[in-house]
Copies of this chain bind each other. A is one copy, B any other.
Amino acid sequence: MPWTKVYIDKNELKDTLAREGLRGLSYRDALKEAQEQLLRDDESVFLLGEGVDDSGGIFGSTLGLWKEFGKDRVMDIPIAENGLTGVAIGAAIAGMKPVFIHMRMDFLPMCMDQIINHAAKWHYMTGGRVNVPLVIRSIIGRGWGSAAQHSQALHALFMHIPGLKIVVPSTPYDAKGLLIASVRDGNPVMFIEHRWVYDYIGYVPEETYTVPIGKGIVRRPGKDVTIVAISLMVYEAIKAAKTLEKMDIDVEIIDPRTLNPLDEELIIESVKKTGRLVIADVSCKTGGAGAEIACRVAESAFDYLKAPVKRVNFPDTPTPCSPSLEDAYYPDAETLVESVKGLF
């Protein structure tokens, strides 16, 4: 199915799309289309964020939307993340469906209080009487010396906070379908994108559709080892699988797509089959999503594991600026290959 398969080779993708008469769209445009359709279909939806209406348009993902929907529904805001998250929560509990957009995930610590203490707990604290249909889009940055404060991936923090959902789409198809599902979900959803995926193209249907929150997907079936790959790492995993194939190691790649709810079943099933687990993520190692996934497997599929689990992550350091250090900082397909080989 062209909407679940991830193509690394651009020509192969083009051919497939052409052959099947399908439309290709970039991740960026898939996000934009999702928002466009949501804004058009539902009056209560609005976007807010620093620069959503500007000439950059959040790396293009909201570009020009204000022209059709006006600056009240595609709303530039003051630089005041915590206050504005509160504003968005207020609008949400009063029946609106705000999508709050942050150009970098690094700015979320500014509004942690409204996310953790308010959005996440509101439904519970009110005994289920009031819900918070708020989507917070944020983008993981990388490269060009972005350094310590402009390249963090903090999704793992939110996994520890009950009441939030966490979505980490890796493909254009999922970006659109999950964003629509998130906005309609009725809960606070942390929608986490990776800047380096923005240019990737994939099949994206024109109509409105949803991808269910809480369902992972097998990106590549295999029998020898399971790689759970998050966000950008899905692409690295596919490259790694090609290399490993030549070494007769058959990799199964799982893209969890959402981290909360986590599709534990899918992961467990896979590990039961392969007996080996590597988790590849785009953030620092300690206390990351990989720890939780590994722990779930150690709890529930222990008897099937044939080897230690492994994590492929950034080292536990802030992001350095210098190109030589940046290079050393980021793991890639090769790192994954090495890691997988270590399990045999």
Contact = CB atoms under 8 A, between A and B. Distances in A.
Interface of A: 82, 106, 109-110, 112-113, 115-117, 120-121, 124-125, 147-149, 154, 156-157, 159-163, 260, 262, 283-284, 286-292, 294-295, 297-300, 302-303, 305, 307-311, 315-318, 320
Contacts of A154: 116, 160
16 contacts: A110-B113, A112-B113, A117-B148, A124-B148, A125-B318, A154-B160, A159-B286, A161-B287, A162-B316, A163-B317, A286-B292, A294-B294, A294-B299, A297-B298, A298-B308, A298-B309
Give this chain's copy count.
Answer: 2
A320 B121 CA distance: 10
Contact of A302 (B117, B295, B303, B307): B307
Contacts of A300: 308
Given A286-B159, A308-B300, A311-B295, A113 B124 contact: no
Contacts of A318: 120-121, 124-125, 162-163
B113 A125 contact: no
B109 A121 contact: no
A156 B286 CA distance: 10
A299 B316 contact: no
A116 B124 CA distance: 27
B316 A309 contact: no
A305 B302 CA distance: 9
A216 B160 CA distance: 24
Contacts of A303: 308
Nearest to A296: B291
Contacts of A82: 82, 110
A160 B284 contact: yes
A214 to B, nearest CB: 13
Given A287-B287, A294-B299, 6 more contacts: A82-B110, A109-B116, A124-B317, A162-B317, A163-B318, A290-B295
Given A148-B124, A302-B307, A318-B120, A156 B287 contact: yes
